[in-house]
Amino acid sequence: MNNNLSIINLAKQTIQIEADAISNLSSLVTEDFAHAVNLIYNTKGRVIITGVGKSAIIANKIVATLNSTGTPAVFMHAADAIHGDLGLILKEDVVICISKSGNTPEIKVLVPLIKRVKNKLIAITGNENSFLGQQADFILNAYVEKEACPNNLAPTTSTTAQLVIGDALAVCLLELRGFTSSDFAKFHPGGALGKKLYLRVRDISSANQKPQVEAHTNIKQVIIEITEKMLGVTSVVENNKIIGIITDGDLRRMLTKADNFASLTAKDIMSTNPKRIDANEMAIEALEIMEANEISQLLVEENGLYAGVVHLHDLIKEGII
């Protein structure tokens, strides 16, 4: 019990130390940050991000974030750069170098080589007065008072700070580029996230059968239509326009109310003004309508005409839920 309590307290302490450090970062943002963002935005080249150790891992993540939000970026390990990978850097590229101390041996070798070919250099460092800080064109201050590690050694708070600065860069660049959810979808076509951004109702409903009856259709044929089309629902149409809907629930309620239903027609039991969605809407919008109204199906329209059905199970199958 005491051991568990100690673990919980240490976890909370770690989170609080890092939260305080990140909160303090906003006070360290200067004009250099704005200049760095504008430099990257206006460059005709790419962003080359480099570092060693844990900073290299953070560099990789920032590269991934920039690439996915419209800013071409490439990772270059600082140690490998001085053994041949320096050729990655092209004339128009902007280089971001990440280093907590700014004084590591690899950085001291790499930075003069970058400066020699006149590429602009942005430093993300916790030490503005370091070798890296003094050589950089712009400094993004990632200073933290201490690591969350009890020994103040393992990179924890410092790497979190680097990561947050990278996110801030990406968000500012995203805003400048007018990067939209549609743009985001182009870079994330796979998985559930991508489907939420690009999958439209038509893409799903077109794969389903299209149950429909007319207002005068007798109940037996309504039951057959719902059963054969296997969506638990049928639309009621007139001149291919939706005038109502009949669900499995409507049929069950009919059975509890009518002793003889042989003479009933679709018009007698249908619900009017059913929830519907345009085929061009995003699939995620269909889910939101279903959840808000606690229903499992939506009728689909296209150009004002009945176009099919989208079912909750379709959204589950596609990974939208």
Closest C-alpha to 36, from 159, 150, 182, 139: 139
Distance CA 60, CA 40 (A): 17
Starting at the edge strand found earlier in the chain, the sheet holding 297-302 runs: 276-278, 297-302, 305-311
CB environment 15-27: b (16+ within 10 A), e (fewer): eebbeebbeebee
The answer to whether 101 and 75 have CB atoms below 8 angstroms apart is no
Pairing status of strand 47-51 against strand 94-99: parallel
Binding residues: 77
What is each CA distance from 264 to 16, 54, 233, 240, 269, in whole angstroms?
68, 73, 17, 22, 8
Pairing status of strand 276-278 against strand 47-51: unpaired
Binding residues for Zn(2+): 77
The alpha carbon of 88 is separated from its chain's Cα centroid by a whole number of angstroms, namely 29
The answer to whether 195 and 241 have CB atoms below 8 angstroms apart is no
Pairing status of strand 305-311 against strand 297-302: antiparallel
Q: Give the up-direction half-sphere exposure of residue 252: CA atoms within 13 A in the CB hemisphere.
A: 5
Those residues whose C-beta lies under 8 Å from the C-beta of residue 138, and which sit 6 or more positions away, are 32, 33, 35, 36, 39, 120, 121, 122, 123
* Residue 245 DSSP SS3: strand
Those residues whose C-beta lies under 8 Å from the C-beta of residue 171, and which sit 6 or more positions away, are 69
